[in-house]
Amino acid sequence: MGSEEGLPPGSGEPEGDKTQRIGRPADEQKPPLAWSEQDESTQYTSGGSVEYQDASTTRPKPPTPAELRAREKFAQKQREIEEARLEAEANRRKRNRRLIGAGVAVGVVGVVAGLGYWALSAPSVTAQCVRDDQNGQPVIVPDSYCTDHTAGLNGFFFFGGHQYRYYYGSSGSIGQRPTGGTTTAPKGATITTKSGTTIQRGGLGGKFSSGKGGGS
């Protein structure tokens, strides 16, 4: 048996070959390091590319017709669910009324907090959809909870057993308490939401502004 045959791979090869494999070719050209400030996409000869996105400058691409259809179906389904729920609630209320007699009178003069209701061209205010938690404190939720559902009484939206409403001019992200803002829409302001879509962000990663990363 030759002296090299019984050895595990890697331990008996000629040194010269091994050096080649471990080291890099000395004349090799590295690609430019791309974390110098570069906004545009960098192209590689391989056909690959490097692009960055950030929340303040990246804009959505227009949806495809198939996506629009799927979204419309989703919205329709949400409306159906909500209608069924409202109907069930109405039935329950009727039953309750029979049980508890007169029941509690709820004001019927609703203020519909619709988008653009106060749209007069004046200052623009961002509305955030909030839900009260069990302590009665508001927590920011995705806008879709407000936009996709029928407005109810006093600017409240009802969905899935919770009530939602808008905070105007507040800041904060989903899951946090809104900072600042008011529950009454400022008069004469253009009111917009950040999204009005079904896309939620912030569900991965950190909730706090500074801390340890995930690397190790």
Partner 1 sequence: MKRLTTQPRPNWRSIVESQGLVYGTPARDARGADRPYWDESVYYEFDMDEILALEADVELLHSMCLNAVEQVVLMDRYADFGLPEWSWQPIAESWRRSDPHVYGRFDLRYDGRRPAVLLEYNADTPTTLLEAAILQWYWLKDKFPNDDQWNSLHEQLVDRWKMVRDLLPSDELHFTWSGVESTGEDQITTTYMQETAAEAGFQTVGLMIEDIGWDSALERFVDLEESEIHTMFKLHPWEWVLEDEFGRHVVSSLPQTMWIEPLWKTLLSNKAILAVLWEMYPGHPNLLPAYLDDPHELTEYVRKPKLGREGANITIVGGGMDTATGGVYGEEGFVYQLLDPLPQFDDMRPALGAWIVGDSSAGLGIRETGGLVTDDGAAFVPHRIPPK
Residues that bind partner 1 (CB under 8 A): 8-11, 15, 18-19, 21-24, 26, 30-31, 33-35, 42, 44, 46-55, 58-61, 63, 67, 70-71, 74-75, 144, 175, 197-216
Tokens 């039935």, residue located: 91
Q: Is 164 helix (H, G, I), strand (E, B) or coil?
A: strand
CB of 137 to partner 1, least distance (A): 19
CB of 28 to partner 1, least distance (A): 8
Closer CB to partner 1, residue 42 or residue 91? Answer: 42
CB of 37 to partner 1, least distance (A): 12
Q: In this structure, what token pair is assigned to residue 192?
A: 């917009």
Closer CB to partner 1, residue 60 or residue 161? Answer: 60
Closer CB to partner 1, residue 52 or residue 117? Answer: 52
Q: In this structure, what token pair is assigned to residue 2?
A: 């030759």
Q: Is 131 helix (H, G, I), strand (E, B) or coil?
A: strand
Closer CB to partner 1, residue 121 or residue 209? Answer: 209
Distances (CA, A) of 5 to 9, 18, 43: 9, 17, 47
Is 109 within 8 Å of 152 (Cβ atoms)? no
